[in-house]
Every structure is written in C-alpha cells, then in structure tokens.
Amino acid sequence: MALNNNRLKRVLMGTGALALAGLLSPAALATDAQEIIRDRCLACHTESSDAANSTFSRISDQRKTPEGWHMTLNRMEHLRDAKISAQEKRELIKYLSDTQGLAPEEAAPFRYLLEQDTNLVESGVDENLMQMCARCHSAARFGLQRRTLDEWQMLVDFHMAQFPGIELHAGSRDRPWYQLAHNETSAQLSEQYPLDTPEWNNWSKAKKVDLKGRWRVTGYVPGKGEFSAWMTAATDDDGRYNLKLEGNYADGAVIEGSGKATVYTGYEWRGTLTIDSVKMRQVMAADKDGQVMAGRMFLAMEDEIGGELRAVKDTGKAQVVAVMPSYLKAGESAELVIVGQNLDGDIDLGDGVRIDEVIARSKDRIVVTATATGTPAVNDVQVGSADSTVALAVFDQVARVDVTPTNAVTRIGGNGGEMEKVRATYRAIGYSAGADGEAGTDDDVRLGYMPASWSIEPVDEVAEHDKDHLYAGEITPAGMFIPGDAGPNPERKMSANNVGRLNVVATVDDGDSKVEGRGSMLVSVPDFVERVLD
C-alpha cells in the first residue's frame, strides 16, 4: 500500500519536518557531491545502495572535521593517484563535513588543533593512546575523528602498510605493536570515538543558523596588539561569505581587510582575509544559536603567529563586548576602551571606579579615563541597559603572572635549509591573589593580558651546561621567540644543532615591584612534513 499524503505528513512531522526543511538546499548539494564521488572515487571504492540512501565503502563509516576530510582527500590525490579538481575537492570537503562531521561538543576538546595553535604541548592524553598513537602526530588528530571499529582497524592497517617500519620504531618495538593497535587500541578508540553518538545525532538534525550579518569582533594580532572591529559577512553565489573587516587597534591605528569565509557542519567558520595587506586565516566555532563565535586568527604563512578572536552578532540589541585593558590598579587612573554595539546611556564601571573623562564615544566604542578609588573587586562594565558579561578587575597587586603558551614547541630552521624557523609569540596574563591573599590558588582573579618584558633562561642544569640559552634562540621585546638557525653548529659539543630547552620569562612591572612568570619551550628540529592537521 502506498503512503497517502496524510501518512507521509505524519512521518515527516515525526522525524522532524524542521530538520528536513533545513536540509533542503544541502540536499541539492548532496546529489552533486555524490556524483563527484561516483565519478572520482569508484575506480577503487564501491557503492552500495538501498532505497533510502547510498553508502560508499571506506567513506561512509567515518566522520571528521573539514581539515580531516581535506587530509584524506590529499592522500587520495597524491598517494593513491585519484584525479579530482580543486573545485570538486572543495565541494566534497563541504559535503562530507556537513553530512559526516563532528558535533560542536565532539570538536570542543581539540579546538587548538583546528585553530592551528600547534606550538603547544598537548596535555591530558590517555597514556595508552599517547604511547601507541600520539608520538608521531597530535592526539587531536584522532580525537577529531569518529569511526566504526572496522574503520579504526583499517586505519591501523593503513599505517602499517604505508609506514612499514612503524612497529620497529622506538616506542613500538618493545611491545607487539600491531596486535595491540589492531585489537586493543582500535577497540578503545571505537568506544571513545564511535561513529554513532547522541551528540552527532542531535546536531545533524538541529536547525543551523545562517551566520551572515554584522559581527562585533575583538582580537589580538602579535606585534600590533588588541583590536576591535566590525566584520560583515554577506552571502556570495558560491555558497561562501564575502567578508569586510574594519576597526581599530587599542592604540587607535586602523585595522582593515576583506576576504571570504566558508561555514562547515553548520558552525565551523573558516575565513581567509587580507588584513593590512597580510593574508590571515580565521578559525572559529559558532555557538548553537549562531550569536557568538570564538576562535583564533593567524598568519596564513605562519600558523603559529596569531591570537584570540571573538565575534558577537549585531542583532540590534545593546551589548558590551569587551573592555581593554580588563584591569585597573587601585588608586591609579588609566585609559580604558569599552567595545560594544548599540551602546547608549550612562557608563558604569562599578562602585569605587570614577570616570574622569569620556575621551571619545560612539555607539560601538567608548574611550574613557577612569580612576580606581575603592578596594579590589571585580566589577560589571555597564553602559545604559546594554547586555554585559564583561568585567573590569580592580586590583591592588599583581600576585602571579602566567605565560602563554605554557609549554611551547618551536623549531630551528632557515640558514639555507629547506624549512623556515617555527616561531612562537608570547603573552603574559596577570592575576591578583584573590580573597585568600595567596597566589596560585583557585580564587586568584584573572586580571587579563599585561605588558611584559621578555627573557629566556636554560630550563635546568643540563640545558645550562649545554648553553641552550645562548644557542637555541632569542626573544624580542614584543614576546616573539625566534629559534636558532638549522644545521650543525661548530661551536656546540659534537657540532650539535641549535635545539634546546628553555624557560621563557615574562616580567610584569607592578608599581615598584616586578612579578615574573615562566613558560617552558622546547626548541626542536625542523619538521619536514607539512600537514593540514598536525
């Protein structure tokens, strides 16, 4: 018996007609993308279909990020000799990450990798996975994938056939590596990162919010400082957004640029812009309502050089987005920039903070000088009736300084060699001691990024003996660490190269006292593999 109209309707309602509506235009894309798979992939892969849908061998039983799909397609192209045009590849990456992507919660623990913030050392990785898998690449590489048990096992077998020495490397050969990887690690991965999850089930059905519109953006560009800007995203015919960005650095200098963005999986924002004539990339995740995006912006040519990026959608409502700087020392006055949208009405920085002068004021940016006359407190920053979750910390003393990145990896390079140096940029974050008066405890109050002077020192006696601090690199006044030259250094014992282990030290001036913070830095050898994902 055929479905009559009524029953069809009920079925649709039951499975969520909304979701279906949301997917209507992607459905058109889907047929195109499936045609690309049929044309470009079925020389080696196979299609099986039942009435409802088609599945493709090896392709349909895994989910990954746009970068993850990009990496696989690169391998198909370069190692398997698949023929595919750049345009087809773009379409497939979009289709596959839309239909077989990661839910926001699934990608959340590993955003650093998507944000290409790769000169940090991963922490909290399961010991077994660390030893078996994360010694060649990041743990995020597989943390950002979901597969069936079969697919995890085929991934192991691919590693074996592609890198036949893998089971003989130090760290593998002291155990039956292949048997463990194929049986136990794969089973662990299929439990930890299974193909079917409630998160994905929900997200794939959820209605996705269009991210076009006007965004109030705040961020940081190494060497230039914090900025606030407007970014508009207008729909383009090719399914991407045209971007325009315009604003100011904290010192008033103009920041300006334009470019394009693609949104994958309904929330993964990937922008490429030319800003002040430098090509930069944006990687952000939108929240579920599509109202706030957060992530990182970095140099397209040098992923390591970048800073935080945050965007709040202009919905016509009044909203405070940031205050720069986010702290004020008790008894002192300073210039503060309040960033927001549709701002109107009285400025209130809390009890005990006096506004001395409004230097400049518009609906989206207010510059004031203010004096902290009261005692330390964390005050709400309010302008009229605007929404605000922004705070100004009034403090009496910087009790502790943290350095980010805390554990960094950089790489020697240059010197006529194949690989450029991999640098790192540092920032210092100040804290006050909080109510207990003791630094380093849970109630420390984060004051925000603070100006610091920078230096390096050997990490321990061995590093000191090897003079790592003299050879491994240097740090600029702006906190940019520049590693040493590649190649053997005749001045070093055994003509070693310029690798080393250092502390990077930030010194923050707080009135008459100086507060130091340290981060550790491994200056490593060049890494000759360039990857979509580390």
Q: Which residues bind ligand HEC (CB under 6 A)?
A: 37, 40-41, 43-45, 58-59, 64, 68, 71-73, 75-76, 80-82, 84, 92, 132-133, 135-137, 141-142, 145, 151, 154-156, 158-159, 163, 166, 169, 181, 185, 189
Is 130 a binding residue for other proteins by CB under 8 A? The answer is no
Q: Which residues in 300-450 belong to E strands, given as ranges?
A: 302-313, 319-324, 327-329, 333-341, 347-348, 353-361, 365-372, 377-380, 382-383, 387-388, 391-395, 400-404, 407-411, 424-425, 427-432, 445-450
CB nearer to other proteins: pick between 116 and 489: 489
In angstroms, the CA 302 to CA 422 distance is 8
Is 176 a binding residue for other proteins by CB under 8 A? The answer is yes
CB nearer to ligand HEC: pick between 59 and 370: 59
Only one of the segments 31-39, 115-123, 164-172, 443-451 lies at the binding site for other proteins (rule: CB under 8 A); that segment is 164-172
In angstroms, the CA 190 to CA 145 distance is 10
Is 161 a binding residue for other proteins by CB under 8 A? The answer is yes
Residues 170/128, Cβ–Cβ less than 8 Å: no
Orientation angle between helical segments 86-99 and 66-78, nearest 10 degrees: 140
Q: Report what 27 binds from other proteins, ligand HEC, none; CB cut-off 5-8 Å by kind.
A: none
Identify residues 316-335 at the interface with other proteins (CB under 8 A).
none
Q: Which residues of 389-421 are buried (b: 16+ CB within 10 A; e: fewer)?
A: ebbbbbbebbbbbbbbbeebbbbbbbeeeebeb
CB nearer to ligand HEC: pick between 169 and 175: 169
The neighbour count for residue 437, using CB atoms within 10 Å, is 11
Q: Report what 495 binds from ligand HEC, other proteins, none; CB cut-off 5-8 Å by kind.
A: other proteins
Q: Report what 167 binds from ligand HEC, other proteins, none; CB cut-off 5-8 Å by kind.
A: other proteins
Residues 29/36, Cβ–Cβ less than 8 Å: no
CB of 160 to other proteins, least distance (A): 5
CB nearer to other proteins: pick between 135 and 363: 135
* Per-residue x/- track, 41-80, other proteins (CB under 8 A): ---xxx----------xx----------------------
Q: Report what 155 binds from other proteins, ligand HEC, none; CB cut-off 5-8 Å by kind.
A: ligand HEC
Q: Mind giving me the DSSP string for 107-125? A: HGGGHHHHTT--SB---S-
In angstroms, the CA 480 to CA 450 distance is 15
For other proteins, which residue of 7, 9, 83, 173 counts as binding (CB under 8 A)?
A: 173
In angstroms, the CA 353 to CA 376 distance is 10
Footprint on this chain of other proteins (rule: CB under 8 A): 44-46, 57-58, 154, 157-158, 160-162, 164-165, 167-168, 170, 173-179, 182, 494-495
